Each structure stands twice: as structure tokens, then as C-alpha cells.
Amino acid sequence: MTGLTSSWWDELVGLFIPSRIDVDDLCALNLDDPAFPSLADVALALARDPSSILTIRNWWRDKLRYTAFAANCVCNSPPAFTCTTHLSHPYNPSIASGGVQDYGFAIDFTPSADVWCYGGYLQVGTVGTGVVQHGINEAGGFALNYLETVVPTTTDTAYFFTTPQRLYAGHTYKYLYQFVGPGWVIKYNNTNSTPSTNAYATFNAHAYKSPIASAWLPHSPVTTSPDPIFCPPAGTPPLPVIDPQPPEIISRTPWTCTTIGDLCTRLYQLSLRVDWLRTQVAYDSSRLDPYSYVASTVHSSLTGDGLLTVSDILGVLVELTTVPSSWGSTSDTPPRYIPSPGVIQFGTTDGLGEAVWVHYADQFIVPAPGLTTRVSYNFKAGVTGRITELLRSD
């Protein structure tokens, strides 16, 4: 592309410096076909909006990479693996017992290899009211203490964690459930909790505690229904199938600088790029190190889980407007809810990012990644929240 600037695309061409990559390195990236930007992004890019120009540029770059990937790489099927539990299911213990509010029940186990715990099986004799939690607790002063709200039924059912938990060989854990609310009746069998072993763990014994804040005690001869679901970690992926190396990428024709007109054209193009870079640097600086913000759209009376569509936000303010009185909290000022009544994730239409746990009645969550177009929320049963979008003040 030589001579006078032909379109607004010309100033972006120079941003793509030709490069060379081995096919095995390219295939190892395991690229996905990027989605074409929205019509709004295209329209704003034509109007020279810096953010939209960057979106178009990134799509163009990713599309070129994916085209090379699709032409030169062959994907292998993922390795298969088998998940397992301790007990046979459906388990269906025969004895029912009530009055278990503020009780916890667990099975103690030690993985023989690194595994993932995806949740577990639970069953009750009578469904009560209020909060029930299940999760993983690690013994010996380690950090893992993962809890989620669940509503078990009278049927032996598998309940899966929102976030699978990585467990390590030789550590000791408890898969537990605990009753915060009243009216629940548990089911169990009067059988000795003798140690047993399966492919992934040794099961030591059952345990209980009352109240929930107290220490665990042996629960024998009793076998209750909590039973963790184990899956091994994914193995080493197979080596990619490598096709013959493609020829080198041919660079575009060098610039011509033989006349005053050639020089003026290049100076004009350089001026356009410097202006674009100046605008982009100002935009990035305001996002990475904002000096102020303004509250924007308010999403009220939120319960359960859902997705909010957003654009160009700095972050969000999360307010817990209703939390059950039975919910645990510290004596700090402000109090910290334990466990977390909710979770927030930033993401796009392609997926979500790392979870941010909401532990305070008013929690300020910044920064949001620059490409954020969605905010996912998940409030536990009985919790109501309000989310306010935060924008740059400029």
C-alpha cells in the first residue's frame, strides 16, 4: 500500500510487523476463531473512536493468527478420565433423625494422588428451611475452606461446586454439609465408619460438630450421606500433529522515498499514528490509574444468578441489601460475612474471569478488565443485592 492514504485502515497496517513462528509453537497456542466485532464497534471505528479501532485491530490480528493455525495444525481429542465416589449410589440410608439445626456432618479422607473435587452426593430425610452449605475443609492449618449454599432433597443427588477444588496427595480434607436453618432431618446408617480406599483416596472416618463453630468430633458407628465426587487432574496433553513447515511470510513492499511527495505522504501517515497513540495512551492511563469515577446504571433487587450487559466500565459497587440474620459474620467494623453471600465475575460473551467473593455489605470492586462487556453475579439463597456500574469521570 503506497502513495496517498487510501482509507482509515492504512494507518493500522504499519502496526502489524511481519513475524515468523514455527508450526509446533503455533499449534501449541490452541487458538479459537475470534468472533467478528459488533456492528457498533465497526461504526465507532469508522468514526475514529480509539477503543473501537483497537477492538478491530485486535480482531484482525487474531483472525490472521487463527487462519494460519487452522491451515497448519490438527487438533487431538482430549484424554478421557473416570470420576469416582466413596459409596455406591443411590446410597439411601435407612434411619432418619431431626433437630440438626447448627449441626455439621462430614467424611474425612486423604487423597492418594492430586485430584479435583467437583462436589458430592447429599440426601436428607426431611427438607427444612434456611441455609444448608456443603464444601471442602482442609485439616492441619492449611488455607482451603470452601463452602457453597445448597438445597438437598430426600433423593440421593449429586451437587456440583461452582468452582471445582484442587486437592493434593497426602493432605487431609473433609467433605461436609452443615445446617444453618431449622426443620432439617438427616439420614444415616448405624454402621462402623471403617477406613476404606478407592482409586483416588483413603476414607478415614465420619465426623460431626454442634454447634457449627465448634471442633469436629468422631461420628461412629454412623455412616451419613455426604460423599465427595473425585476426578483426576488432566494428564499431559499429547504432542500436536505437525505438518510440514510453511514458507516464510513475505514482507510487504518497502516504502519509496524518492520524491518530496513520498516524504510528505509518510510524514502525514506518521502524524496520524502519533495522534492515535497519544489518544490511546491517554485512554489507557485513565483506565489503569483512574483518578475519579462516576456512578452509572444501578441494577436493583438482584437475587440468584444472572448476567448484566455493560460497556467501558471501571468496576462495580456491590451492595448487599438483604442478608439472612442467621448468616455468619465477624465482629470487625465493617463486619465481614463468612461465608461469602455472593460472587462477582467480569467477562465477555466468550467467557468469565476469576471470581471475586463479596464479603461486605458495601464492596467496591475495581478494576474491571478493559474488554469487559458482561458482569456475572451469583447471590446465595435469601440474599438480595444491588450492583452499580462505575465509569471513568472523563
Are 392 and 313 within 8 A, CB to CB? no
Q: What is the pLDDT of residue 152?
A: 82
- Does residue 339 sit within a domain? yes
For residue 39, what are the contacts with CB-CB under 8 A and spacing of at least 6? Answer: none
Pairwise CA distance, residues 178 & 212, whole Å: 7
Residue 27 has pLDDT above 50, yes or no: yes
- Tell whether 35 and 118 lie within a shared domain: no
Pairwise CA distance, residues 283 & 76, whole Å: 41
Residue 25 has pLDDT above 90, yes or no: no
- Tell whether 270 and 339 lie within a shared domain: no
The mean per-residue pLDDT over the stretch 362-366 comes to 94
- Tell whether 65 and 120 lie within a shared domain: no
Which position has the higher pLDDT, 126 or 191?
126
What grid cell was written down for 307? Answer: 448476567
- Does residue 237 sit within a domain? no
Residue 160 has pLDDT above 70, yes or no: yes
Mean pLDDT score of the chain? 79
DSSP helix/strand/coil, 239: coil
- Does residue 242 sit within a domain? no
- Tell whether 120 and 227 lie within a shared domain: yes
The mean per-residue pLDDT over the stretch 40-51 comes to 79
- Tell whether 259 and 318 lie within a shared domain: no
Nearest partner of 346 among 325, 323, 365, judged by Cα: 365
Q: What angle do CA 139, 140, 144 make, to 5 degrees?
A: 55
Location of C-alpha cell 448476567: 307
Most confident stretch, 42-46, 153-157, 319-323: 319-323
The mean per-residue pLDDT over the stretch 181-186 comes to 80
Question: Tell me: the pLDDT tens digits for 241-267?
Answer: 445 555 555 545 566 677 787 778 778
Each as own residue / partner, the long-range contacts of residues 11-20 (CB below 8 Å, 24 or more positions apart, any chain) are 11/269, 11/272, 11/273, 11/276, 12/53, 12/56, 12/57, 12/60, 13/252, 14/269, 14/273, 15/57, 16/60, 16/61, 16/64, 18/249, 18/250, 18/251, 18/252, 19/249, 20/248, 20/249
- With a threshold of 0.85, does the pTM exceed it? no
- Tell whether 161 and 212 lie within a shared domain: yes
Which position has the higher pLDDT, 11 or 67?
67
Q: Residue ranges of the alpha helices (H) in the chain?
A: 10-13, 23-28, 39-46, 50-72, 260-288
Range of the domain at 66: 8-79
- Tell whether 184 and 273 lie within a shared domain: no
- How many domains does the chain contain in total? 4
Q: What is the pLDDT of residue 222?
A: 64
- Tell whether 33 and 138 lie within a shared domain: no
Nearest partner of 279 among 91, 2, 47, 86, judged by Cα: 47
- Does residue 243 sit within a domain? no
pLDDT band at 75 (very low <50, low <70, confident <90, very high): low
- Tell whether 69 and 118 lie within a shared domain: no
Which position has the higher pLDDT, 121 or 233?
121
The mean per-residue pLDDT over the stretch 129-143 comes to 75
- Does residue 246 sit within a domain? no
Question: Tell me: the pLDDT tens digits for 162-172?
Answer: 888 888 888 88
Question: Tell me: the pLDDT tens digits for 204-248?
Answer: 888 888 887 788 888 766 666 678 888 776 544 444 444 555 555
What grid cell was written down for 293? Answer: 469515577
pLDDT band at 18 (very low <50, low <70, confident <90, very high): low
- Does residue 244 sit within a domain? no
Q: What is the pLDDT of residue 255?
A: 65
Question: Tell me: the pLDDT tens digits for 298-341?
Answer: 999 999 999 999 998 999 999 999 999 999 999 999 999 999 99
Question: Tell me: the pLDDT tens digits for 320-329?
Answer: 999 999 999 9
For residue 294, what are the contacts with CB-CB under 8 A and spacing of at least 6? Answer: 390, 391, 392, 393
Residue 3 has pLDDT above 50, yes or no: no
DSSP 133-178: EEEEEESSS-S-EEEEEE---SS-EEEEEEEEEEE-TT--EEEEEE
- Does residue 90 sit within a domain? no
- Tell whether 216 and 331 lie within a shared domain: no
Residue 140 has pLDDT above 90, yes or no: no
* pLDDT more than 70, % of the chain: 78
- Tell whether 216 and 100 lie within a shared domain: yes
Of 146-150, 232-236, 269-273, 367-371, which range is least confident? 232-236
Nearest partner of 373 among 347, 393, 394, judged by Cα: 347
Q: What is the pLDDT of residue 79?
A: 43
Which residue among 79, 109, 126 closes a domain?
79
Residue 286 has pLDDT above 90, yes or no: no
Which position has the higher pLDDT, 297 or 75?
297
Most confident stretch, 116-125, 210-219, 339-348: 339-348
Q: Which CATH number fits the domain that encloses residue 323?
A: 2.60.120
Residue 1 has pLDDT above 50, yes or no: no
- Tell whether 313 and 382 lie within a shared domain: yes
